[in-house]
Structure formats: C-alpha cells, structure tokens
A = this chain, B = another copy of it.
Amino acid sequence: MADDRRSTRDRILQACWRLLEEGDGGQTRMSDVAKAAGVSRQAVYLHFSNRAELLVAVTRFIDARSEIDARLAASRQASCGLERLDAFIEAWGNYIPVVHPVCRALLEMAPGDEAARLAWDDRMTALREGCEAAVNALASDNELSAQHPASAATDLLWTLLSIRNWEQLVEGCGWAQVAYVAEMKRLARLAITKPS
C-alpha cells in the first residue's frame, strides 16, 4: 500500500515531467497530467494541493535523479579559484537543459502566482549563493578583477548564467550546448577575473 501510494505519486511526477519536456512548454494543464498519468484530475490534487506545488515537486524529482548535488560538490573541491569557476559553470550550465522544461513552466506562472514566485526565487537564490562562493574563491586567490566589489561580480556572474540567457542562445540562436558552456566560461573570466 505504501508502495502503491508512492507509485501513484511518482507516476504523476513522471507524467508531468514528460509532458513538460515534450509538450508546448509550460502550458501543460492539470487535466493533461492526470490523463497522462492514467489517473483522475482529483487524484492529482490529492497529492499536490496546487499546480505550483506539483511543479516544485517535479524539480525535486529531477534533482534527485540527476546527481546535481554531486556535480556541484565537485566544483567545490577545485584546487584554485579559476578552476572552481570553470567547474561551477560546467556543472550548472549542463544542468540547465535538464531542468529547463520545468523551470519554464514555473517561470511562466510566477507573475500571477505567489507560490510559484517564491519557489522560483528560492532556486535563483541558491544559484546566486553558488556564484557568490565561486567569486569568493577567486577573491581568495587574488584573481578577482578590481573593476567591481565582489557583490557586483556575483551579480554579473549570476546574470550571465541565467536560464533566460541559456534559452536565448541555445534555443533561440541554435547554439550547441558545448558551445554555450565554453562561451560562458570565456565570458565569465573576461567579466570578473583579472586580465591574464
């Protein structure tokens, strides 16, 4: 029974994920998810009290299945600031395509939905903390550009690595994922580290 319970919940999450990846983007409706999961619309509400909560649960579901923590941990073990910056961009930049479908849906509903907005802000705050840590590592190695205070460097890195920028370059301009990551590494160095 406990197994069945998890299996229904998981089937909903899985179906939602699949629809977000395949479908027309964030326009996936609760009834679509229900149908895809082979369950009634109300069953979805028994597990997730609203759409925002479902989407947030899907992001966690994805996080758990994609070793994101491990990848980010690797970046924290880099031996110097520059290496850490590269590793961080590599980890995050390659994670974006995975979570992007859900992020898109969350982002689309954020303007009109407090819960979605908070969930999104949480995610972005976590990203900013990662950027801040990378900037601090650069500062420790005295590799940080003298152009700005560390907070401004963090702002820049955070903005550079935003999901919107990935969308525009990879989906909008047709850049290959590896080209995107390589270019972000190059730009980050130019923007916030000392000229070599």
Which residues from chain A sit less than 8 Å from chain B, CB to CB? 25-27, 108, 111-112, 147, 152, 155-156, 158-159, 162, 164-165, 168-169, 173, 175, 183, 186-187, 190-191
A169 and B159 contact, Cβ closer than 8 Å, known pairs A164-B164, A187-B191, A191-B187: yes
Is A158 a contact of B168 with CB atoms below 8 Å? yes
Contacting residue for A108 out of B111, B147, B152, CB 8 A: B111
Copies of this chain in the oligomer: 2
Contacting residue for A156 out of B111, B183, B191, CB 8 A: B183
A168 / chain B contacts, CB cutoff of 8 Å = 155, 158-159, 162
Is A175 a contact of B155 with CB atoms below 8 Å? yes
A173 / chain B contacts, CB cutoff of 8 Å = 155, 158-159
Whole-angstrom distance between the Cβ of A53 and the nearest chain B Cβ: 20
A165 and B169 contact, Cβ closer than 8 Å, known pairs A27-B111, A27-B112, A111-B26: no
Contacting residue for A190 out of B108, B158, B159, B190, CB 8 A: B190
